[in-house]
Amino acid sequence: MMILKMAWRNIWRNKRRSIITISSIFCAVFFAVFARSFQIGVYDKMVSNMVGMYTGYLQIQQEGFWQEQSIDNSFVPDQSVRDLLDNHNNIDEYNTRLESFALTASENLTKGAIVMGVNFEKEDLLMDLSPKIRAGEFPNEISSSLLISEGLADYYELNIGDSLILLGQGFHGASANGIFPIQGIVKLPMPNLNDRLVFMPILAAQELFAAPERITSMVLQIDEPSKLNKIKTDLGGKLNRDTYDLLDWKQLLPELVQTIQADSAGGIIILGILYMIVTFGILGTLLMMTAERMYEFGILVSIGMRKGKLILTVVLESLMMGVLGVIFGVIGITPVRYYFYLNPIRLQAKAADSIEAFGFEPVIPASLDPQIAINHAAIVLLIVLLCTLYPIAVILKLKPIKAMRS
Amino acid sequence: MEIIKTKNLSKLYKNNELEVLAVDGVSLSIRQGEFTAIVGPSGSGKTTLLNMIGGLDAISDGSVEIAGTNINSMNENELIDFRLKNIGFVFQAYNLIPVLTAKENVEFIMLLQGISPEERKKRSEELLTQVGLEDKFNVRPNQLSGGQQQRVAVARALASRPRFILADEPTANLDSQSTSKLLDIMAEMNKKENITFLFSTHDQRVIDKARRIVTIEDGKIISDEVR
């Protein structure tokens, strides 16, 4: 207890210096968590957009479909697979899709598009489509009507009741052509999807592509994204891997993963520079403290204090300053993160256009993931501990008489 | 009973090519209850001799025995523990821990010895009362005068119940009144509790109080007078 008391009081022997040190730790935690929260927030948004809008967290596909995305690699799912998914505790629902590409045409215009045969009721649960409907409604499951993305509708200047021509290739080379009425227009948040997505009832899609009962993927809705790896491992062990591939969103969206990794590396370099500055600040304090207290260290060892205890006192002092800075930093940044979580920054004009050009929503939300603050608090405390290596080395080499003469 | 015994004790300082023999073959015996002053001019080797007796400075030649234990062969931690249990130090510059109160400074040495909080509290209060600082328990060193700080240092030195106290120029920074009071306290403790004191000093007031005077010059004992 007295060692703790000594350490605490030692901090306040030079108030100004300690306050500056604690402030620098506060700033490091504050800005590191601030920057990282936005970075992770943006990544989460990108992932949730892409996963929620398109891929889902897990997909079951015919083995080889991912390498060669042809409708010829579609499949008719076994009843055993359906039973496995129906009875799995962590899988709330699964959507079957028949997905292919087609050339769309109207009047004198044409454009390539993704054609997705879906069950609208289930897809609404996954993609939350209802609030995004801009005109019309979901087509009936047994109809041959389309729900097209707003960008596509704008491109062709189409409205509800107009028709769109689809030209493509069906199963095993069959011709896949048809003219379909538009029953709904949906605005998708991901610009690259919003420009070229056509939904149709899965039965109509199977008929169009001459692939009755066939699907290209089963999109799994899992109860908790954080359990993804566990669910994947569990399902992977039960599925026949010669017939089926089980892919998670990282495999389905490798470009997104690479984008995040590249961007994250840039952010980490900037944080590294910030931490380097803070390290020199803390080290400077400890250098001065050590130099000032050499005489005192000599006295303490002379009267019978083991160097181990002296080191403990110095480490405690440094850690107390570190912990104070970290606590203030976390307390300071939490309301800021919360504010930007509730009120994400919306990019405007050219900044928004450049983000949209990459296919992402021009929104920068802050992440509330507590792990961010925990990680940066741990990094700062580790830096503090590393900096204490200097006084530790000095104390270990200390000769009491020499120190008392200093 | 011999508490301190040095045999042909020497200290050679080497600085590049310059060699200085600060202590030159000193053989000295101090018995329990002595009140001894080592006197001599500045640079005569008094402090170096005390530092070697206290295990603070390495010995170049000879030996130091404290209560029959040779301290020459001890490693660093053994020496620290030995000092903690056997030797009380009073330094010229008081050397109290600035962030601790007078009472905490006295308790600190007992804390290092692993003495219980109740015992620490009782003994520290007793010792501070003995040195006339019963009203300064919770005062920090910077609020005490030099004489008061040195009395706290004496109380701290006594707190560990050492075999003897080494006091290096304890009155050098004190005025006459404080010196007189400090010497009276130490003399009384020596008389009543048979505590052994070994001073290095060139303060005549300390010399006058001492019952044995060892004079040292150029690192050698030139006289040893018992009064």
Q: Which H/E stretch holds residue B76? A: helix B76-86
On the question of pLDDT at B32 being above 70, the answer is yes
A-chain CB neighbours of B54 within 8 Å are 302
Which residues lie below 8 Å from residue A402, measured CB to CB, with a gap of 6+?
Answer: A298
pTM here is 0.72
On the question of pLDDT at B180 being above 90, the answer is no
Whole-angstrom distance, CA of residue A358 vs CA of residue A258: 13
So what's the pLDDT on residue A357? 62
Whole-angstrom distance, CA of residue A60 vs CA of residue A88: 14
DSSP string, A302-329: HHT--HHHHHHHHHHHHHHHHHHHHHHH
Give me the residue spans of the domains in chain A. 2-51+256-405, 64-240
So what's the pLDDT on residue B225? 86
Chain B contact present for A82, CB below 8 A: no
Pick the more confident residue, A380 or B189. Answer: A380
So what's the pLDDT on residue B50? 92
Whether A304 sits inside 8 A of B81 (CB atoms) is: yes
Please name the residue of chain A whose CA is at the shortest distance from the CA of residue B82: A304
**Splitting chain A (406 residues) into consecutive groups of 10 residues, what average pLDDT does each group show?**
80 83 89 90 82 84 88 89 88 90 92 94 84 91 93 94 93 91 89 89 94 92 83 88 88 84 87 88 87 88 90 91 93 93 84 68 84 92 93 92 80
Question: Average pLDDT, whole number, for chain B?
Answer: 88
Whole-angstrom distance, CA of residue A310 vs CA of residue A291: 15
Point out the residue among A300, A307, A401 whose CB comes nearest to the CB of B56.
A401
CB atoms within 10 A of CB A173: 10
A-chain CB neighbours of B89 within 8 Å are 302-303
ipTM: 0.85
Mean pLDDT to the nearest integer, B185-191: 84
Chain A contact present for B100, CB below 8 A: yes
With b for 16 or more beta-carbon neighbours within 10 A and e for fewer, the B68-89 pattern comes to eeebeeeeeeebbebbbebbbb
Whether A305 sits inside 8 A of B80 (CB atoms) is: yes
* Amino acid at the residue A13: R
So what's the pLDDT on residue B163? 85
